[in-house]
């Protein structure tokens, strides 16, 4: 596995002579500035088919915000939350953007959720909303894959239905914050088997990226490399009326966020 950079000509360039991996240790402003200053044209082109790993490695915390789109809360029949709803997703769920999503044994209600991912670039504690975006290294696409029966019916935390192996595809790219003019003005979508299921805009977030970071930093220290999934727009399988639609082996999910790239996962059952 080698770190890479997407060049303007669409090729991927090898960064392994300059950085060992893209992790929290290489995401502060100074480290990113060094990468930005490289002569991209002089970097070796990565040839052949690419098997993309998660766009950030060594994730310490995978934090997720629930019911953070006003139209999704309406779809779910839930009241608008007064504060960000927080749950955790196990870091062992993290996979690459095009890896298979594996439904665990006993799964009957697998679901999709396209989300804007936020990757923290420097240690954040008691951060103000005004300064919060300065602590962002970059943004990425996240599929917050869910097993709704595990999530709702197994008694306990949502984490049960969110943390199954492969339930956290991240990437394809970690797009540095300077390339995203406004994280609250991005379109996002999810297709399942070629049918558009989710279509929305981050402008519908109840709590903005800045509000989320500021809120979480009052509760815990956010470290470089931590990932925050910021919620999903309407169109999840659970919300389809009158009969929900859930994932089955052979289904294909394709997720995209404006300027951040596209994911594609095939669903299969665990052995």
Task: Identify the DSSP state of 83.
Answer: S
* CA pair distance 2, 19, nearest whole angstrom: 9
Q: Which residue, among 187, 200, 183, has the nearest Cα to 118 in the 3D structure?
A: 183
Q: State mean pLDDT over 14-41.
A: 92
* CA pair distance 6, 50, nearest whole angstrom: 12
Q: State mean pLDDT over 202-226.
A: 97
**pLDDT tens profile 91-128:** 999 999 999 999 999 999 999 999 999 999 999 999 99
* CA pair distance 91, 79, nearest whole angstrom: 29
Length of the chain: 271
Mean pLDDT of the chain: 95
* CA pair distance 31, 19, nearest whole angstrom: 9
Least confident of 3-17, 83-97, 171-185: 3-17
Q: How many CB atoms lie within 10 A of CB 91?
A: 16
CA distances for 131 relative to 128, 134, 210, angstroms: 5, 6, 8
pLDDT, position 142:
98
- The stretches of the chain forming alpha helices (DSSP H) are 29-36, 70-76, 148-153, 159-162, 209-219
72 pLDDT higher than 80: no
pLDDT, position 204:
93
75 pLDDT higher than 80: no
148 pLDDT higher than 80: yes
* CA pair distance 170, 97, nearest whole angstrom: 5
- Sorted by where each starts, the structural domains of the chain and their CATH numbers stand as 1-50 (no CATH), 52-269 (3.90.850.10)
**pLDDT tens profile 37-56:** 999 989 999 988 889 999 99
227 beta partners:
62, 119
pLDDT, position 28:
92
pLDDT, position 231:
96
């Amino acid at each position: 596995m080698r770190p890479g950079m997407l060049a303007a000509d669409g090729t991927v360039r090898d960064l392994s002579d300059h950085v060992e991996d893209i992790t929290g240790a290489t995401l502060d402003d100074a480290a990113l500035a060094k990468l930005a200053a490289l002569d991209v044209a002089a970097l070796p082109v990565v040839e052949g088919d690419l098997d993309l790993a998660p766009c950030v490695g060594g994730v310490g915390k995978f934090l997720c915000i629930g019911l953070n789109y006003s139209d999704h809360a309406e779809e779910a029949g839930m009241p608008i939350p007064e504060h960000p709803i927080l749950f955790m997703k196990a870091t062992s769920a993290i996979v690459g953007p095009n890896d298979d999503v594996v439904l665990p044994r006993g799964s009957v209600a697998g679901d999709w959720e396209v989300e804007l991912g936020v990757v923290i670039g420097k240690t954040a504690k008691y951060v103000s909303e005004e300064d919060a975006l300065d602590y962002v290294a970059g943004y990425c696409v996240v599929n917050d894959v869910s097993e709704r029966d595990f999530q709702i019916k197994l008694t306990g935390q949502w984490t049960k239905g969110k943390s199954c192996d492969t339930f956290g595809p991240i990437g394809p790219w970690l797009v540095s914050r300077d390339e995203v003019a406004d994280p609250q003005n991005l379109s996002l979508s999810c297709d399942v088997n070629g049918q558009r299921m989710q279509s929305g805009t981050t402008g519908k977030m109840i709590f903005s990226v800045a509000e989320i970071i500021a809120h979480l930093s009052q509760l815990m220290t956010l470290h470089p490399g931590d990932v925050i999934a910021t919620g999903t727009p309407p169109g999840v399988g659970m919300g389809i009326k009158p009969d929900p639609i859930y994932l089955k082996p052979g289904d294909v999910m394709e997720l995209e966020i404006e300027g951040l790239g596209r994911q594609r996962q095939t669903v299969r059952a665990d052995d």
